[in-house]
Structure 1
């Protein structure tokens, strides 16, 4: 579908260019559609951002589930290994949701979209660990890796693995 193609292209453009810099003309070019078509589907730059964030959200959760073991400690380790790959290949400028929040701190719809994404990731981590009581702690590790990745790279993942093993071991005792 054209609307999905546009959302995917917007996601890529915002990921590479950020949210402030690209003009609507630049976004139109990135999508390979006319300005009229772009505005038909997404009537404002903010709606384009929300579409890109929602598209990325679905793509990210599906990516984390690829080849995932059943909910367990191994599933959580798998998620963090997938996070490493995601950061390497899909997040050249860090977490797109966090960047959107920083660029538009007072935009209600963008804030709601980011908060929904983050809450879904938190709940996902709780389900995949089979430990919903640890959802927040695992989410904080996830967000920490996302934030620290540009500085620490693989060291952030290695540290998260150790913290996960310690956290899950302590709670099982």
Structure 2
């Protein structure tokens, strides 16, 4: 991704995370991206392209924040994984998953649904390997998604519950 495209995608991600997918006007998106309207459309010719670019940017940031550099010890990796998801929620996604929000805003869009599925699958697959819970990706994803969706209501209580659930999953599937 070129530096300009990356800058635009980052700005668009911030705008959609703050205002949702319906509210920001093209002028708002241009301002968030910090480029001219001509440059915005040069790199992303449609609003749909803007949404996809923002979500792709979000995907890479999430994977890096949550999964990169987890401890080598599986138990420590599990705890750190949950802590990092909680930190992400505190600072980046206090209202829930941006990928689910995008699909909810445009449920008939196959590209958005495919991106949501790819994002969740990559998170589950990488987390499964890094926590030594490979083969338990669905259960692991259910725990992570439960934390993400319950965070706005329960905050740290959700973190404690997720840590308990991931420990039980590890115990049941050594």
Is residue 114 of structure 1 aligned with residue 116 of structure 2? yes
- Partner Cα distance (2:124, 2:69) in 1: 20
Structure 1 runs not aligned, ≥5 long: none
Kept in 1, the 8 Å contact 2:70–2:130? The answer is no
Q: TM-score, normalised by structure 1?
A: 0.95
Cα distance, 1:93 vs. partner?
A: 2.3
Query: What TM-score, normalized by structure 2, do the two folds share?
Result: 0.95
Aligned residue number for residue 92 of structure 1: 94
Q: SS of the residue aligned with 1:38?
A: helix
Equivalent residue, structure 1, for 2:163: 161
What is the aligned-residue RMSD (CA, Å)? 1.1
Query: Are the counterparts in 1 of residues 96 and 149 from structure 2 also a CA contact under 8 Å?
Result: yes
1:28-107 correspondence to structure 2 within 5 Å: 28-70=30-72, 72-107=74-109
Distance in 1, Cα, partners of 2:73 & 2:13? 29
Contact 1:122 1:135 in 2 (8 A): yes
- CA deviations on 1:58-103 (whole Å, 9 max, x unpaired) are 1111111344202612212111100000000001321111111111
Q: Please tell me whether the aligned partners of residues 126 and 138 of structure 1 are also in contact (alpha carbons under 8 angstroms).
A: yes
- Preserved CA contact (<8 Å) 1:28 1:35: yes
Q: Separation in 1 of the partners of 2:24 and 2:73?
A: 40
Q: Deviations over 1:35-57 (max 9, x none)?
A: 11000000111110000100010
**Offset, 1:105:** 0.6
**SS of equivalent to 1:21:** coil
Question: Which SS does the other structure have where 1:70 is aligned?
Answer: coil
Q: CA deviation at 1:135?
A: 1.2
Q: Following the alignment from structure 2 to structure 1, what is the Cα–Cα distance between the partners of residues 94 and 132?
A: 31
